[in-house]
């Protein structure tokens, strides 16, 4: 009787699973009959297809197992919960909207922060050997505190290669500026000189060519961007490109490789990569065996991190070698930084090839996300507590039917997770369509939320439960607590007097206060920094980066004849562009200072202000042993009588002849530094700066550019308005301002939404009271005062607590981000207070209006 069943297996299993047993025989008999018939008529494949369709089609209620036959209490219960929850959500559209909107906004922010952190932690981690490659660093005590540097003595790389068998690979990296030329495309570029192992250790994939080609000194490997810049979209392999190092030094390279576009999350990269050997051949002064000089970076690759201890031990002898050759940089120890975590620690390492672009974001963004989440959760808790009055009967009935407290808690939590899930979807959409594009634009980093990313979903689920439970647990506990008998008797007193509601609202107001204060301070700071004096006159000043002294002479001779140019000056370094670190000894104690070598005219051209003594005299031989210092140096070195003081630099004595007012040689992110000016050798001039007649900057700039083009057709022009040297800095400051303003706006929006919900519920619960008041003759004023009273007290309390906290936080933030920032005064403190009070009053008065217009008969009638 039991024939062998040879219908397709999987659909059959599925059918068996859903089909109710008492109908299986007849139903599947029909399907089998059809199946065997079709095999005969249409062949096996067709029949199998049809069978599958039939199984799917038959999956209908008439064939299903009867769920209700097996008593399954919890499914039914949850179905009922779902029904009551969705009904209660629909019944209170306003509070549902506030809850869902608030939560989705907070979740959207969380997702953006997630995207940011993910981006941040994936920087430079695409390299295959990210855990094996280390940057060698050293610690040195230059001016009182020990600091870590990312540089390495030049011969170290070679020595390591020979001395240690544990080290698999060594790679030195040096960066030089050069002019690259292919046909009419001529630009200033930074070129990376490295050992051929570079691409073995940092595994940048190549689009064209092979990485081994770097071993040949005449080859060059380009980044994708540079390949497009110089050669367009074609494959440039085998083409020539000329590299110009100076007036008479140049070399032609053959393109032997082009890298794939670098991943978004990277910091270490290259534009042009050539063999280290080229340094020796093309820079006659470059001595790679000099222990006293540094190379930009030395990377090593080891098989196991445990080898590092051994290597460290063996490296002490290099320390002695270096310290003998170089007195200014006494190395106290060597260290290693893993490639994978290099950029995270980069903030503590000076002069390394990586940098830490987002240390502030790494701390402040998660805090911000928590802020937002807290605000939204508080809204939820408050509204849930106050609106519980409407659902008391439901809870009473549930308890009578037999739900225990645990069941009621589960119900409310489940309901809340449902709401959160909905908010999560909205939040995801918000994040993808609005927040993230905006944040990418502001942060100028191309991070992404990849929906296929498994971690994102784990994060989402975690967020769902965290938010759902954090916001729902208190209301659930609170609501489930009530005694059934009291509920039905109507004697439960609650909602209006819950102190937690007030605490949470107060907390929200404090958070809003903090964010507003931040926004105000940042805005003020932007204006402040824009107007702050640079210590010299940056207006009407132009500069050009000349190639060498000859170039300077030729350009200077032409520009000085220009009618709009009032003065010109040459210099080796330039304010806002370049200074040289130097050590000044006073009584054998070293001080780290910045040094600028300039001509005598430089002070006049840049309008640096003299407070004491004199500037250099033009072409004076005596002044070669003189320096001009800034006030900060005088202060730091405690020079009682600075003029005439003798200071030692590079083993020679220099006399201080003048003191200038403090100025910013770098942008406002950096503190002012003690600085010395020395008279530059005419043969060392690298910059031409000039002061032009006010209002003629543009003409002068055009003249400068056209003179340059005529003089040096081979070299692209580098220079511009002095005012523009910090453009990037001001853009960043602007960005921060925009960012904090948006954050403050969101926080205020969330807090006021929550407040609105609370006030509305409160007022609607007291409508009878207000109607009685109106009957007894209370005017609008009386009612307004009555409603406002409790909130205004709360608001004042929140301000009293919040303002000092805001002040301290804003100050800490400013101090962390800028050494120079706007002093925080009354305005910065009063403005948030005013904004908050106005928002609060506006919210309250919408409700007062409603009460005053309402018909008091409606309020007094009872069913």
Partner 1 sequence: MKGTHLGEFEELILLTVGVLYDEAYAVAIAKEIEEQSGRSINVSAVHKSLYRLEEKGMLDSRLSDPESKRGGKRKRLFSITAYGKRALDESMELRMRLRNRIPNIAFKWQMS
Q: What track of x and - describes contact with partner 1 for positions 440 through 459 (by CB under 8 A)?
A: --------------------
Contact 98, 757 (CB under 8 A): yes
The stretch among 24-32, 103-111, 198-206, 743-751 that binds partner 1 (CB under 8 A) is 24-32
Residue 54 near partner 1 by CB under 8 A:
yes
Binding residue (CB under 8 A) for partner 1 from 8, 14, 34, 474: 34
Task: Pick the closer one to partner 1 by CB: 3 or 493.
Answer: 3
Residue 25 near partner 1 by CB under 8 A:
yes
Task: Pick the closer one to partner 1 by CB: 39 or 558.
Answer: 39
Calpha distance 504→471 (Å, rounded)? 12
Chain centroid offset of residue 353 CA: 19
Task: Pick the closer one to partner 1 by CB: 56 or 812.
Answer: 56
Task: Pick the closer one to partner 1 by CB: 20 or 317.
Answer: 20
Calpha distance 107→460 (Å, rounded)? 9
Give the contacts of 433 (CB within 8 A, at least 6 positions apart).
none
Calpha distance 261→264 (Å, rounded)? 9
Cβ at position 376, least distance to partner 1 in Å: 47
Q: Which two tokens stand for residue 174?
A: 């040096």
Calpha distance 853→780 (Å, rounded)? 10
Calpha distance 842→847 (Å, rounded)? 9
Cβ at position 4, least distance to partner 1 in Å: 8
Task: Pick the closer one to partner 1 by CB: 34 or 94.
Answer: 34
Binding residue (CB under 8 A) for partner 1 from 8, 11, 14, 32: 32
Calpha distance 249→270 (Å, rounded)? 22
Q: Which two tokens stand for residue 315?
A: 């490296």
The stretch among 26-34, 349-357, 699-707, 755-763 that binds partner 1 (CB under 8 A) is 26-34
Binding residue (CB under 8 A) for partner 1 from 17, 21, 26, 41: 26
The stretch among 22-30, 343-351, 455-463, 519-527 that binds partner 1 (CB under 8 A) is 22-30
Cβ at position 71, least distance to partner 1 in Å: 23
Task: Pick the closer one to partner 1 by CB: 59 or 477.
Answer: 59
Quick one: DSSP state of residue 829?
H
Q: Which of 311, 291, 314, 313 is nearest to 302 (CA)?
A: 311
Residue 145 near partner 1 by CB under 8 A:
no
Task: Pick the closer one to partner 1 by CB: 62 or 826.
Answer: 62
Helix, strand, or coil (residue 659): strand
Residue 36 near partner 1 by CB under 8 A:
yes
Give the contacts of 450 (CB within 8 A, at least 6 positions apart).
456
Calpha distance 671→661 (Å, rounded)? 15
Cβ at position 92, least distance to partner 1 in Å: 40
Task: Pick the closer one to partner 1 by CB: 5 or 587.
Answer: 5
Binding residue (CB under 8 A) for partner 1 from 16, 30, 610, 855: 30
Q: Which two tokens stand for residue 438?
A: 């905006």
CA distances from 6 to 47, 513, 731, 834 (A): 12, 73, 73, 80
Q: Which residues pair with 179 in a beta bridge?
A: 188, 244
The stretch among 1-9, 140-148, 413-421, 826-834 that binds partner 1 (CB under 8 A) is 1-9
Per the listing, tokens 């029904």 go with 83
Residue 41 near partner 1 by CB under 8 A:
no
Contact 436, 733 (CB under 8 A): no
Cβ at position 55, least distance to partner 1 in Å: 9
Cβ at position 47, least distance to partner 1 in Å: 14
Cβ at position 5, least distance to partner 1 in Å: 6
Task: Pick the closer one to partner 1 by CB: 62 or 73.
Answer: 62
Find the binding residues for partner 1 in span 170-189 (CB under 8 A).
none
Binding residue (CB under 8 A) for partner 1 from 13, 29, 128, 671: 29
Residue 39 near partner 1 by CB under 8 A:
no
Task: Pick the closer one to partner 1 by CB: 63 or 403.
Answer: 63
Chain centroid offset of residue 608 CA: 36
Residue 621 near partner 1 by CB under 8 A:
no
Residue 18 near partner 1 by CB under 8 A:
no
Residue 27 near partner 1 by CB under 8 A:
yes
Q: Which of 732, 816, 818 is nearest to 364 (CA)?
A: 816
Quick one: DSSP state of residue 720?
E
Total residues in contact with partner 1, by rule CB under 8 A: 22
Q: Mind spelling out the 3-state secondary structure of 149-168?
A: ECCEECCHHHHHHHHCCCEE
User: What DSSP line would sit under 102-168, residue for residue?
Assistant: HHHHHHHHHHHHHHHHHHHHTTT--STTTTTEEEEEEEEESSSSEEEES-EETTHHHHHHHH-SSEE
Residue 2 near partner 1 by CB under 8 A:
yes
Residue 31 near partner 1 by CB under 8 A:
yes
Cβ at position 29, least distance to partner 1 in Å: 3
Q: Mind spelling out the 3-state secondary structure of 466-511?
A: HHHHHHHHHHHHHHHCCCHHHHHHCCCCCCCCCHHHHHHHHHHHHH
Per the listing, tokens 């910013």 go with 664
Calpha distance 662→669 (Å, rounded)? 16
The stretch among 50-58, 218-226, 471-479, 643-651 that binds partner 1 (CB under 8 A) is 50-58
Contact 412, 475 (CB under 8 A): yes
Task: Pick the closer one to partner 1 by CB: 54 or 737.
Answer: 54
Cβ at position 3, least distance to partner 1 in Å: 5
The stretch among 51-59, 200-208, 257-265, 814-822 that binds partner 1 (CB under 8 A) is 51-59
Cβ at position 109, least distance to partner 1 in Å: 49
Task: Pick the closer one to partner 1 by CB: 32 or 723.
Answer: 32
Binding residue (CB under 8 A) for partner 1 from 33, 128, 681, 815: 33
Find the binding residues for partner 1 in span 55-94 (CB under 8 A).
57-58, 60, 62-63
Chain centroid offset of residue 649 CA: 41
Q: Which of 561, 562, 559, 566 is nearest to 544 (CA)?
A: 559
Using CB atoms within 10 Å of the CB of residue 629, give its burial: 0 to 12 exposed, 13 to 18 middle, 19+ buried. buried
Cβ at position 67, least distance to partner 1 in Å: 17
Residue 240 near partner 1 by CB under 8 A:
no
Q: Which residue ranges make up the site for partner 1 (CB under 8 A)?
A: 1-3, 5, 7, 25-34, 36, 54, 57-58, 60, 62-63
């Amino acid at each position: 009787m039991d024939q062998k069943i040879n219908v397709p297996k999987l659909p059959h299993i599925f059918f068996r699973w859903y089909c109710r047993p008492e109908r299986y025989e007849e139903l599947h008999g029909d399907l089998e009959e059809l199946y065997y018939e079709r095999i005969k008529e249409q062949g096996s494949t067709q029949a199998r297809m049809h069978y599958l369709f039939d199984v799917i089609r038959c999956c209908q209620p008439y064939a299903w197992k009867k769920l209700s036959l097996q008593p399954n209490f919890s499914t039914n219960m949850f179905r009922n919960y779902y029904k009551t929850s969705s009904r209660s959500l629909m019944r209170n559209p306003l509070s549902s909207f506030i809850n869902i909107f608030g939560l989705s906004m907070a979740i959207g922010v969380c997702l953006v922060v997630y995207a940011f952190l993910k981006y941040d932690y994936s920087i430079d981690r695409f390299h295959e050997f990210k855990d094996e490659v280390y940057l060698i660093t050293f610690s040195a005590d230059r001016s009182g505190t020990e600091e870590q540097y990312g540089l390495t003595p030049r011969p170290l790389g070679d020595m390591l290669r020979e001395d240690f068998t544990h080290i698999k690979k060594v790679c030195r990296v040096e960066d030089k500026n050069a002019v690259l030329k292919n046909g009419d495309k001529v630009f200033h570029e930074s070129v990376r000189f490295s050992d051929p192992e570079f691409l073995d250790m940092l595994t940048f994939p190549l689009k064209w060519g092979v990485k081994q080609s770097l071993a040949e000194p005449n080859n060059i490997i380009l980044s994708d961007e540079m390949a497009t810049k110089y050669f367009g979209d074609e494959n440039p392999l085998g083409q020539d490109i000329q590299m110009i190092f100076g007036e008479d030094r140049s070399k032609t390279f053959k393109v032997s490789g082009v890298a794939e576009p670098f991943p978004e999350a990277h910091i270490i990269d290259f534009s042009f990569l050539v063999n280290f050997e080229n340094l020796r051949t093309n820079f006659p002064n470059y001595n790679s065996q000099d222990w006293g000089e540094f190379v930009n970076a030395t990377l090593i690759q080891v098989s196991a991190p445990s080898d590092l201890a051994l290597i460290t031990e063996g490296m002490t002898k290099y320390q002695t070698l270096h310290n003998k050759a170089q007195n200014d940089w006494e190395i106290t120890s060597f260290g290693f930084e893993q490639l994978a975590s290099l950029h995270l620690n980069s903030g503590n390492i000076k002069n390394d090839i990586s940098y830490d672009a987002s240390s502030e974001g790494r701390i402040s963004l998660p805090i911000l996300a928590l802020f937002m989440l807290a605000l939204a959760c508080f809204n939820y808790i408050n509204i849930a507590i106050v609106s519980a009055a409407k659902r008391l009967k439901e809870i009473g009935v549930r308890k009578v039917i037999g739900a225990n407290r645990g069941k009621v808690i589960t119900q409310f939590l489940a309901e809340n997770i449902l709401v959160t899930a909905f908010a999560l979807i909205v939040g995801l959409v918000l994040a993808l369509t609005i927040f993230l594009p905006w944040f990418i634009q502001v942060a100028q980093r191309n991070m992404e939320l990849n929906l296929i990313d498994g971690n994102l979903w784990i994060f989402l689920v975690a967020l769902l439960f965290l938010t759902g439970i954090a916001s729902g647990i208190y209301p659930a506990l609170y609501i489930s607590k009530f005694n059934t008998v009291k509920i039905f008797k109507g004697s439960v007193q609650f909602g209006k007097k819950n102190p937690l509601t007030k605490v949470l609202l107060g907390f929200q107001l404090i958070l809003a206060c903090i964010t507003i204060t931040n926004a105000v301070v940042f805005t003020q700071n932007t204006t402040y920094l824009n107007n702050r004096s640079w210590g010299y006159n940056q207006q009407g000043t132009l500069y050009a980066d000349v190639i060498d002294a000859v170039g300077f002479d030729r350009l200077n001779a032409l520009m000085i004849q220009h009618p709009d140019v009032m003065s010109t000056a040459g210099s080796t370094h330039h304010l806002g562009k370049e200074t040289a670190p130097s050590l000044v000894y006073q009584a054998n104690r070293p001080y780290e200072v910045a040094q600028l070598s300039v001509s005598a005219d430089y002070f006049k051209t840049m309008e640096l202000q003299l407070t004491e003594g004199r500037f250099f005299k033009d072409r004076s031989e005596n002044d070669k042993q003189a320096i001009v210092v800034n006030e900060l140096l005088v202060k730091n070195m405690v020079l009682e009588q600075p003029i005439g003081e003798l200071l030692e630099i590079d083993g020679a004595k220099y006399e201080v002849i003048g003191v200038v007012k403090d100025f910013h040689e770098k942008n406002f992110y950096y503190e002012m530094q003690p600085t010395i000016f020395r008279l530059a050798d005419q043969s060392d001039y690298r910059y031409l700066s000039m002061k032009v007649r006010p209002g003629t900057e543009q003409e002068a700039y055009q003249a400068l550019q056209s003179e340059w083009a005529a003089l040096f057709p081979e070299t692209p022009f580098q220079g511009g308005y002095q005012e523009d040297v910090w453009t990037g800095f001001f853009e960043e400051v602007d960005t921060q301002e925009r960012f904090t303003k948006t954050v403050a706006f969101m926080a205020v929006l969330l807090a006021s939404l929550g407040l609105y919900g609370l006030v509305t519920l409160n007022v609607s619960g007291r409508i009878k009271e207000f109607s009685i008041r109106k009957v007894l003759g209370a005017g609008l004023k009386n009612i307004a005062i009555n409603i406002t009273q409790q909130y205004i007290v709360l608001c004042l309390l929140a301000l009293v607590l919040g303002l000092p906290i805001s002040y301290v936080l804003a100050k800490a933030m400013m101090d962390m981000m800028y050494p120079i920032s706007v002093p925080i005064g009354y305005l910065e403190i009063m403005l948030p207070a005013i904004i908050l009070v106005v928002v609060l009053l506006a919210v309250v008065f919408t409700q007062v209006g409603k009460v005053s217009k309402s018909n008091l008969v409606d309020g007094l009638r009872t069913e």
